[in-house]
Structure 1
């Protein structure tokens, strides 16, 4: 396979950045009754991952543990996450979505799905499937880099850069 030209990669990186901002704004606008993006992201990945230690979730989210700990604390306070002792290590704990958290996640997904579907009403099923494939391939290509960066970057470096 031939190498991709640097200008093409630069344009792709710019487009992905702008798309991420646009997607977040388009799908989360007018959601004051739901969760902020950061908390919704934690809830989504915890539901996907299942009961786990916060360190596992932090690695999955490419976040430092102290940042994630604040989010988990807020979600516990709101009743959307349960924190239980780890039966294998009483010094540690496991987190899992509560039924209320799963209900909130379902409400968020329903609203965002409805908003996105309205914008894709002139797309075919095949076009949406193609877009999904490209996004999944990009995620698979970039996830190892993000995970490595998260493992070596402190929370302070993340907030200052």
Structure 2
């Protein structure tokens, strides 16, 4: 059971997960100059979830609405998404992938797959499959990461220490 693993294993796992940042940076370097990692995330979410309100997209990205709005404006300028008024609430906008946005997603996917194939060329198919299974399981263990941050259980209050009593022989009887 994972809870029984030596604490040092969890410390090493934390170090290795921090090092995953280098992999993410490498993947970020292959993005086209006009497509930031945030923009790519918006495209991927619209592809996965379909048309979304700005507020729902902001929640999925776990960022402030102003950040989502900047991403949406950037993507709309490039023709990768279209923004329309929500018929149910004219103050809200619905975001939708365009065919150009779908083409960009295909290009991003191809670039990512090419880089991973190159970097993992000395891995077996079984090792890549195992990594996928374990990373999928790790992500599931953390949920969607939009819930309240994990807080360790509160430290129990200290147990009162009784002062040793010294009894005189007369008090002991």
Provide the TM-score with structure 2 as the length reference. 0.75
Tell me how far apart the structure 2 counterparts of residues 68 and 137 of structure 1 sit (CA, whole Å).
28
Provide the TM-score with structure 1 as the length reference. 0.80
Answer whether contact 2:52 2:95 (CA < 8 A) is retained: yes
Tell me how far apart the structure 1 counterparts of residues 9 and 63 of structure 2 sit (CA, whole Å).
29
* Matched residue SS, 1:148: coil
Question: Are 1:125 and 2:153 an aligned pair?
Answer: no
Structure 2: unaligned runs, 5 residues or longer: 150-173
Aligned residues: 148
Question: Are 1:109 and 2:102 an aligned pair?
Answer: no
Answer whether contact 1:84 1:94 (CA < 8 A) is retained: yes
The equivalent of 2:58 in structure 1 is: 58
Answer whether contact 2:54 2:92 (CA < 8 A) is retained: no
- Higher share in helix: 1
Going from structure 1 to structure 2, the CA distance change for 1:31 and 1:61 (only over 3 Å counts) comes to closer
**Cα deviation, residue 149, structure 1:** 4.3
**Cα deviation, residue 122, structure 1:** 2.3
Tell me how far apart the structure 2 counterparts of residues 76 and 32 of structure 1 sit (CA, whole Å).
16
RMSD value, Cα: 2.0
* Matched residue SS, 2:79: coil
Structure 1: unaligned runs, 5 residues or longer: 151-161
Answer whether contact 2:58 2:65 (CA < 8 A) is retained: yes
The equivalent of 1:45 in structure 2 is: 45
Answer whether contact 1:39 1:71 (CA < 8 A) is retained: yes
Which stretch of structure 1 is more off in the superposition, 128-137 or 34-43? 34-43
The equivalent of 1:17 in structure 2 is: 18
Tell me how far apart the structure 1 counterparts of residues 124 and 30 of structure 2 sit (CA, whole Å).
27
